[in-house]
């Protein structure tokens, strides 16, 4: 009896002190404002990470998930990141089946809140916010052998995540190699990976989380963004296609000499940046033919645009993903700012 009393006393004291800590000393929020660099890591080494780069610094804080959660690990390539109502969702792709996951973290501290795992999550590709507390995560599902044609499982699915309960509430069967998703009003337009062989542009109704329509697009659609006029842009092979999301009609088709790479929309949504044949271009959303202006006389594996500073971020990787890659920053004019060493295979940005 006495022992129990002592025990409850100790528990009470510990609880009190923890509560004390919480009230008197709020957690620091080191990642309040800056750039998250998503590092894909080396194939099969499962060593991806998220680095944090302050807008005024030239060095990154490495592997901030590990820093914030010393007892946890990502163990995979970081495939995507977005924030929904104060929570960050990190997509982690491991090369072994059944070991992919989504880490849900507090956006300011990066402390882990929960982990979504297999079978809910299998080969996650992209995450987008689709409601005040709702996210969609496109998932290829388990990958087989590429040469045997079983690499992209048919169909892949979209995991619907409720950020209140922090669970996957539904898996929407999607298309083979499901990847890019763009919200337009109450609908989500869903495409696939360029190598998937699927030509279906899928439309999901946000109210019901159900497939509303499947449109044969003629070639593999990769939805990019909505422009300033709320028109949907889709990459399809060498083409950039402007679609009216309400009528589903194609309004413009720009055909490039080769497949444009790393297509991103500008902050004002009036133009796109893309790479082509070793250069980085800018093209207006009102262009009538596929001739952009050279902005930077080199290309990058990934482009990002910082909405705050309008700066352009490009990634440059060494030839092998066995050493850190670089992030190179430019003014929106194309003038070089600096070059910052990131981690293994930087291949995505999230600006806050």
Number of Cβ atoms within 10 Å of the Cβ of 36:
25
> Whole-angstrom distance between the N-terminal and C-terminal Cα of the chain?
54
CB nearer other proteins, residue 19 or residue 146:
146
- Specify the 3-state DSSP secondary structure of 15: helix
The pairing of strands 239-243 and 232-236 is antiparallel
CB nearer other proteins, residue 105 or residue 344:
344
72 binds other proteins (CB under 8 A): yes
CA dist., res. 86 & res. 105, Å (int): 9
- Write the Ramachandran bin of 70: left for phi over 0, alpha for psi from -120 to 50, otherwise beta: alpha
CB nearer other proteins, residue 166 or residue 341:
341
CB nearer other proteins, residue 223 or residue 346:
346
144 binds other proteins (CB under 8 A): yes
318 binds other proteins (CB under 8 A): yes
Residue listed under structure tokens 């309004």: 251
Q: How far is the CB of 111 from other proteins (least distance, A)?
A: 14
Q: How far is the CB of 213 from other proteins (least distance, A)?
A: 29
* DSSP code string of 162-231: ETTTTEEEEEEE--TTEEEEEEETTEEEEEE-TTS---EEEEEETTTTEEEEEEE-SS--EEEEE-TTS-
- Specify the 3-state DSSP secondary structure of 97: coil
Q: Which long-range contacts (CB under 8 A, 24 or more apart) does 145-153 make?
A: 152/176, 152/177, 152/192, 152/193, 152/195, 152/196, 152/197, 152/198
CB nearer other proteins, residue 145 or residue 216:
145
Residue of the chain from 6, 20, 33, 44 that contacts other proteins (CB under 8 A) = 44
CB nearer other proteins, residue 65 or residue 350:
65
Q: How far is the CB of 270 from other proteins (least distance, A)?
A: 35
Q: Please give the structure tokens belonging to residue 88.
A: 């960050």
CB nearer other proteins, residue 222 or residue 343:
343
Scanning residues 73 to 132, which ones bind other proteins (CB under 8 A)?
73, 75, 94-99
56 binds other proteins (CB under 8 A): no
339 binds other proteins (CB under 8 A): no
Residue of the chain from 324, 332, 351, 352 that contacts other proteins (CB under 8 A) = 324
173 binds other proteins (CB under 8 A): no
CB nearer other proteins, residue 47 or residue 266:
47
Scanning residues 17 to 36, which ones bind other proteins (CB under 8 A)?
none
Q: Please give the structure tokens belonging to residue 57.
A: 């610094």
CB nearer other proteins, residue 97 or residue 207:
97
Half-sphere exposure of residue 175, counting CA atoms within 13 Å on the CB side? 29
Size of the site for other proteins (CB under 8 A): 32
- Range in contact with other proteins (rule: CB under 8 A) among 71-79, 185-193, 204-212, 251-259: 71-79
Residue listed under structure tokens 């209140």: 164
Query: Could you tell me if 234 and 243 are in contact, meaning their C-beta atoms sit under 8 angstroms apart?
Result: yes
DSSP state of 76: B
71 binds other proteins (CB under 8 A): yes
CA dist., res. 197 & res. 159, Å (int): 22
59 binds other proteins (CB under 8 A): no
307 binds other proteins (CB under 8 A): no
Residues that bind other proteins (CB under 8 A): 42, 44-47, 62, 71-73, 75, 94-99, 142-145, 148, 150, 153, 318-320, 322-324, 341, 343-344
């Amino acid at each position: 009896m006495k022992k129990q009393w002592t025990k409850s006393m100790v528990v009470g004291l510990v609880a009190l002190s923890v509560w004390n800590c919480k009230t008197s000393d709020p957690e620091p929020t080191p990642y309040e404002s800056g750039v998250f660099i998503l590092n894909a890591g080396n194939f099969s080494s499962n060593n991806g990470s998220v680095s944090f780069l302050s807008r005024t610094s030239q060095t990154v804080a490495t592997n901030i998930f590990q820093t914030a959660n010393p007892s946890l690990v990502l163990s995979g390539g970081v495939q995507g990141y977005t924030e929904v109502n104060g929570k960050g969702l990190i997509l982690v792709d491991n090369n072994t089946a059944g070991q992919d996951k989504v880490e849900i973290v507090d956006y300011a501290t990066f402390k882990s809140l929960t982990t979504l795992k297999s079978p809910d999550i299998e080969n996650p590709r992209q995450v987008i916010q689709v409601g005040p507390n709702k996210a969609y995560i496109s998932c290829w599902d388990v990958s087989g052998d590429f040469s045997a044609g079983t690499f992209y499982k048919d169909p892949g699915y979209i995991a619907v995540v409720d950020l209140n309960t922090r669970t996957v509430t539904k898996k929407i069967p999607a298309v083979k190699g499901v990847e890019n998703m763009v919200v337009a009003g109450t609908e989500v337009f869903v495409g696939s990976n360029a190598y998937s062989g699927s030509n279906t542009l899928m439309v999901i109704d946000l109210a019901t989380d159900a497939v509303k329509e499947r449109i044969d697009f003629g070639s593999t659609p990769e939805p990019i963004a909505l422009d300033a006029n709320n028109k949907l842009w889709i990459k399809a092979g060498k083409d950039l296609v402007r679609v009216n999301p309400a009528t589903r009609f194609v309004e413009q088709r720009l055909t490039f000499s080769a497949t444009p790479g790393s297509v991103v929309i500008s902050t004002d949504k009036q133009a796109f940046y893309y790479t082509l044949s070793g250069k980085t271009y800018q093209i207006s959303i009102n262009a009538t033919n596929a001739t952009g202006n050279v902005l930077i006389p080199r290309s990058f594996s990934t482009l990002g645009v910082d909405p705050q500073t309008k700066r352009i971020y490009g990634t440059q990787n060494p030839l092998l993903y066995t050493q850190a890659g670089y992030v190179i920053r430019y003014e929106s004019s194309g003038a070089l700012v600096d070059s910052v060493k990131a981690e293994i295979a930087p291949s995505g940005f999230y600006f806050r």
